[in-house]
Structure 1
Amino acid sequence: MKVINLTENPTTYTCNVYYIQGEFNSLNNLNTIIDIGRDEIIFKKFDEMSNCAGKKLIDQIILTHNHYDHTSLLKTVKEIYSPKVYAFSPYLKGVDTVLKGGESILIGDKFFEVIHTPGHTQDSICLYCSENGYLFVGDTRVILNSDSWSLEKNYVQSMEYLCTKNVSKIFYGHGPPLESGCNEKLRKTLELIHNSKII
């Protein structure tokens, strides 16, 4: 699979907008965007993209949570490209399928598990591919550096579940990906979590 960050050089405050294609961009792959952001630079990027004949540029959008820097361009992009939209929140306008957690969704040419990870927001999700170990986390705090936190039990449980996975690369909602030592850092975070105050 190919992962392209459309807002690596943003022109305004936004999240990372990940555009994902299958390795060979065949008709049965699903061109997917994870978080649509708020930077109109993405439209210039869309114009520069190549696509095989008869295939939609954007098959689907998956939103990791409802914050404006992750969702602002949803209405415009949906009007132009008619993608199917997935999100955990039932209150976002333009969502076609409300996620519950536990679903398996084809993204590009790989299947990803939807993992509900409340904490940053109650509708936060992560997306995990067991085949290549890729984990898209939005703004979910999966790496902590201290135990001076008050943490909700459901966030702790979701982190315990994430730490059962073999993660090779973490794609954040902001900033560059973590490309090495992911499992070790996740488990260190879990230790810090267990030493924090659980509310």
Structure 2
Amino acid sequence: MISNLAAGVRAFTSNAFYVDGDRRVLVDAGANFDVASRVADEGGLDALVLTHTHRDHVGNVPAVVDAFDVDVWGFDTDQDGVDHAIADEETVRLGDHEYVAYHTPGHKDDHLCFHSPDAGVLFAGDLVFQGGSFGRTDLEEGDRPLLVESIERMVDVLDDDLGAMHTGHGPSVTDRPYQHVEAALESACADGRV
């Protein structure tokens, strides 16, 4: 089961997805709210996995580590708080399923997406969002052509069997999520700067 522990929070934060199962994992910690108590209400935690290290996704990392004594996994161990690196196309266990990690820079250099074909689930971070929106490229490390390449990669990896897309902001997408990824690619290419 996957639940967004940031649901209903009125603060600057990313979503924070609790993935229950054999390996209880929090995908992104969010910021500016007490996610540790929400994790405790769910029954505890085995690991914290990051899509990327923008402040709104990692602000609560110290509180989660302090509360549950868990390791933090992400793409780049040179980033503060990341204990273990996840390589491109490495398999990681989230809940009861294996997910393939895809390095998808463009929004931030250390950005990862996680896809489980068996579960039919994508954790998209800030790469793409509901309705064909896509991650900002006007921040440090932002790169529009690189973001387009990353979205193209995910369009190639995914297909219509995708059942759910959990994004870094906004609602999760369960109605034809693959079409939202395709729309994001179209939108990212539309302004002619790519």
* TM tier relative to shorter chain: 0.7 to 0.9
Looking at CA atoms only, which structure, 1 or 2, has the larger radius of gyration?
1
Question: Shift of residue 131 of structure 1?
Answer: 0.8
RMSD after superposition: 2.2
Question: Shift of residue 192 of structure 1?
Answer: 4.4
Equivalent pairs: percent with the same residue? 25
Moved more, 115-124 or 37-46: 37-46
Off by >6 Å, runs of 4+ in structure 1: none
* Alpha-carbon distance between aligned partners in 1 of 2:128 and 2:121, rounded to the nearest angstrom: 16
Match of 2:140 in 1: none
What are the equivalent positions in structure 2 for 1:87-102 lying under 5 Å apart? 87-102=74-89
What are the equivalent positions in structure 2 for 1:1-199 lying under 5 Å apart? 2-22=1-21, 29-50=22-43, 57-141=44-128, 143-144=132-133, 151-152=144-145, 154-164=146-156, 165-166=158-159, 167-195=162-190, 196-198=192-194
The gaps in structure 1 that reach 5 residues or longer are 23-28, 51-56
| 8 A contact 2:127–2:151 mirrored in 1 | no
* Alpha-carbon distance between aligned partners in 1 of 2:80 and 2:185, rounded to the nearest angstrom: 35
Tell me which amino acid in the other structure corresponds to 2:69.
S
Question: Shift of residue 188 of structure 1?
Answer: 3.4
Tell me which amino acid in the other structure corresponds to 2:151.
M
Distance 1:189 1:67, change over 3 A: closer
| 8 A contact 1:66–1:89 mirrored in 2 | no
The gaps in structure 2 that reach 5 residues or longer are 135-142
Tell me which amino acid in the other structure corresponds to 2:168.
G
* Alpha-carbon distance between aligned partners in 2 of 1:35 and 1:173, rounded to the nearest angstrom: 8
| Greater helix fraction, Structure 1 or Structure 2 | 2
Please, what TM-score do these two structures have when normalized by structure 2?
A: 0.83
Count of residues in Structure 1 that have an aligned counterpart in Structure 2: 181
Please, what TM-score do these two structures have when normalized by structure 1?
A: 0.81
* Alpha-carbon distance between aligned partners in 1 of 2:35 and 2:184, rounded to the nearest angstrom: 33
Question: Shift of residue 21 of structure 1?
Answer: 0.7
